[in-house]
Amino acid sequence: MERQGGPLDHDHRGHEHADHPEGGSDPSASVETGIREHGPADHASHDMHEGHGPAEHAGHDEHAGHSVAMFRDRFWLSLLLTVPVLVWSEMVQEWLGYTAPSFPLSVRIPAILGTVIFVYGGMPFLKGGVQELRDRQPGMMLLISLAIVVAFVASLASEFDWLDLEFWWELALLIDVMLLGHWQEMKAIGQASGALEALAALLPDEAEVVHGAEVHTVAVSELRPRDVVLVRPGGRVPADGMVIEGDASFDESMITGESRTVRRSSGDRVVAGTVATDNSVRIEVEAVGDETALAGIQRLVREAQASRSRAQTLADRAAAMLFYIAVAAGALTFVVWAAIGDTGEAVERSVTVLVISCPHALGLAIPLVIAISTGIAARAGILVRDRLALERMRTVGAVLFDKTGTLTKGRPAVRDVTGFGVPADEVLRLAAAVEASSEHPLAKAIVSAATANGGIPNASDFRALPGRGVEAVVDGTPVEVGGPALLRERAIDMPTEISDDVETWSARGATVLSVVRDGRIIGAVAVEDEIRPESAESVQDLHREGVRVVMITGDAREVADAVAADVGVDEVMAEVLPEDKAEAVAGLQGRGLQVAMVGDGVNDAPALARADVGIAIGAGTDVAIESAGVVLAGDDPRGVVSVRRLSKASYRKMLQNLGWAVGYNVIAIPLAAGVFAWAGLVLAPAVGALAMSISTIVVAVNAMLLRRLDLRPAPVPPDPVSEQRVGEPMHSAHHHP
């Protein structure tokens, strides 16, 4: 998420305690104090995003009003009733060579239970078929309805000896398989929402409200904005709010996926459900109930459940095609066989055509792939909110990365150190000794770097120099750390021996802090926004996929070019205002490119919505309400490559399954119609049903092969320095004599 502003403040402005937040900086923001100014506009109301989601673009939904539980319950009961239907079916008995137990009305068991299965298990499909007829949009529901209605009528007619066709067992199995398929599809669609509902269950039932000197326990539902609540160590935050007293490390992994705790102190916002791990804090409630960030995530995911996948539309098209083919083939079969004088054969053949026109495999072709791909995505930390976005990812020709917080970590890190007369390591140690008493993000970066490189000497008499830097006494000698303003006040010139380094750092947008000991410069430290170690690999992987990579940022051109050079992007869009990012996406689309936008926060929302695929990286509170179709739970930009791989693999499996399911009918329908009867090739109903079952098994096995796909990126080799400090290892360390 980009914020307006320039490079790191070179005069070390605001380095005194009075101007610094008492706790750590918010990881959802760019380096708030030191990298760029961060205004309240960056936290604009999320209301403009309310109701915006993939559901707005949903088409006709065959599952409207249906639920996972409904399909699940109907499947299990129908399956239970199917067992006796199979056992007492005359065709199955003849086929397998056994005789079922006989008792009064035993011969009617298939008809009685088959009718129950038809009414109970088949009702969702019958209603869906009627709706598709009304909408004049034949699809899967109508095809299933045609098959089960014909099978039911033919079987019922056979009970009265009007026909000699017994399809009860086939009717039962067809309904079972279709219920299973739709159950799995609904389960896959709702999986993300279910996970979020589980998160909601982690919220505390009660909260401790502070009234003066007293603390009262109340139900969370009774909390109101402006209430002050006490959160003890190990307790969960009951509502979104702001810390007004105390500081603590918070476990925000339930929201962000980040395992490390985040320090929050007075003035910092916290999110409902997160855990205070070490200290007590008092929080002023700002949002409760449906207004919390977590509730916003849940709401948008639920809205996204209505999204229609391109592949599902393709399945509906295949079903519509088969419906028309089946009706035409059935009618033609009856006419032809009746014309040659065999009415009984005409009825049998036409009924068989209509029954097998709905292959079991078609009902499982898409749901199985969706279910499996959803599970794979979840294990890789990928939340697919919009299936259409996932499928589009395979055709993306350009990926537009936001810089700050996406390709970079949005926090300062020591990039380079140079020494004049003393070793660079010593310069860093002395700078850290002075900065150790400061809470400024730049100070923390220097301290972390020095700690990793061997420790920090003690300092005394710390004093902030407003607008200039800081000073302290180290080993009995005064040491000052600051920017150009400090050097101007002290009338100190930058030594020519290190001036080239300093100018190079400044040109690339780094904050340069000079280290002055006893009135003379002994070196300088360059601090920059830390580039994620995975960013370059992500760009390289996308290049291998033939994808153009573009970086967009509000930073100055020199800063952007420096990051771009390190990461290896193809194109840089610098000094772009947040409100203009959507136009940048449109510009790429105008070149004929399918565009994926990758951002990390609220300022990226217009671009995420405008892009063909919106990917939110780092699932935090801001990201949660964005218009992205895909959300990466972690901060690793290589997840973008994983999304593309999943898109290509799952779409390929869907097409394979659809091809197999439709291909079965291409062969089966002519055989069932008796086109090759003259050659003795006639598809008997029992054989047709067996072939249908085999087709289903093939589709299921093919879908299972998708499990071999491993989307988890390889771990980045740990750097012994970066593991201990905020930042990357120093790129250079000079010692000028």
Q: Token pair of 717, please? A: 């080799």
Q: Using the structure block, give the residue that is written with the tokens 């990226």.
A: 604
Cα dihedral 716, 718, 722, 728 in deg (nearest 10): -40
Nearest to 359 by CA among 92, 186, 155, 146: 146
The span from the CA of 519 to the CA of 521, in Å, is: 7
Three-state DSSP state, 4: coil
In angstroms, the CA 35 to CA 25 distance is 12
Query: What phi-psi label fits residue 161: left (phi over 0), alpha (psi between -120 and 50 degrees) or beta?
Result: left
The three-point CA angle 362-368-373 to 5° equals 135
DSSP percent split of the chain into helix, strand, coil, nearest 5: 50, 15, 30
Residues 688, 689, 694, 696: is their CA dihedral positive or negative?
A: positive
**Token digits of residue 180:** 């299973």
| 8 Å CB contact between 3 and 470 | no
- Reduce the DSSP state of residue 456 to 3 states and report it: coil
Reduce the DSSP state of residue 89 to 3 states and report it.
Answer: coil
Q: Tell me how far apart the alpha carbons of residues 629 and 619 are, in angstroms, rounded to a whole number.
A: 12
* Strand order from edge to edge, sheet including 281-287: 214-219, 206-211, 228-231, 281-287, 240-245, 269-270
CA distance 323 to 181: 19
> Could you tell me how many residues make up the chain?
737
> Torsions phi, psi of 26, nearest 5?
-75, 125
Do 422 and 403 touch, CB atoms closer than 8 A? Answer: no
| Cβ atoms of 330 and 639 closer than 8 Å | no
- The amino acid sitting at 461 is D
396 in Cβ contact with 644 (< 8 Å): yes
Strand (E) positions, 18-169? none
Which residues are designated catalytic? 402
Contact call for residues 365 and 657 (beta carbons, < 8 A): yes
For residue 491, count other CB atoms closer than 10 A to its CB: 7
CA-based nearest residue to 542, from 550, 530, 554, 552: 550
